[in-house]
Amino acid sequence: MQKSHFFAYISRMRFIQRWALMRNTAPENVQEHSHQVAVLAHALAVIRREVFLGEAAPSAVAAAALFHDASEILTGDMPTPIKYDNPTIRSAYQDVEAVADRKLLNMLPEDLRSWYVPLLTEVDPETEVLVKAADKLSAHIKCLEELKAGNTEFREAAAQTRRALEAMALPEVDYFLEVFLDSFSLTLDELK
C-alpha cells in the first residue's frame, strides 16, 4: 500500500496566516477560516432550502467550503488587494491555484480520489456560489470582529465586504445579514 501525504498537507492549513497586510488583534489562519466558511456555507444552503424553498445540498456545500482554500497550503494566502489588482494577476493566480489543487488531488490513493475531485477541482456552480458568499461573509465577520476590538485598520475592508455581499443579490445572504449578522458585534454578555 502506497503512503500518502494528502492529510498531512491538509493539516498544515493552520500554519497559513490570513490578512497578512493588515494589523490583526486576533490572527486568523486558513484552517480556522475554512471551518467558519463551512459553517456559514451550510447555513446559507439550509436557508436556501428552508426559507426560500430552493435547491441546495447543505452537507455537500459544507464539504466544499472546508476545502475551498486547500491550494493555499502550497501557494500561501495571496492578499485580496493584490489578487484582484488586475485581470492578469488574477488569471495567473487562478492557474497557480489549479495546479496546487491538482497536486493535492494526485497525492491521494487512486481509489479515494473521486471523492475529492468535486471538492478540489470540479465544484458544482450552485455550490460554488454559496461557498463564495460564505467566504465573503466570513471576511466581513472578521472585519466586524476587528472593529469591535478597536482595530480601525479594518474599517474600509468592512465597508468593501459589505458592499460585495449586498451586490451578490442572494436572498440567503440578505436573510443572514438581517437575522444573524448584528450578533457578531455584541459582547459575550450581550449575547443573552
Tell me the C-alpha distance between 89 and 30, whole Å: 21
Q: Model confidence over 20-42: pLDDT tens digits?
A: 889 999 999 999 999 999 999 99
Q: What is the mean pLDDT of residues 132-161?
A: 97
Tell me the C-alpha distance between 102 and 50, whole Å: 35
pLDDT band for 11, please (50, 70, 90 cuts).
Answer: very high
pTM of the model: 0.93
Structure-block grid coordinates of residue 34: 475554512
Q: Model confidence over 161-190: pLDDT tens digits?
A: 999 999 999 999 999 999 999 999 998 999
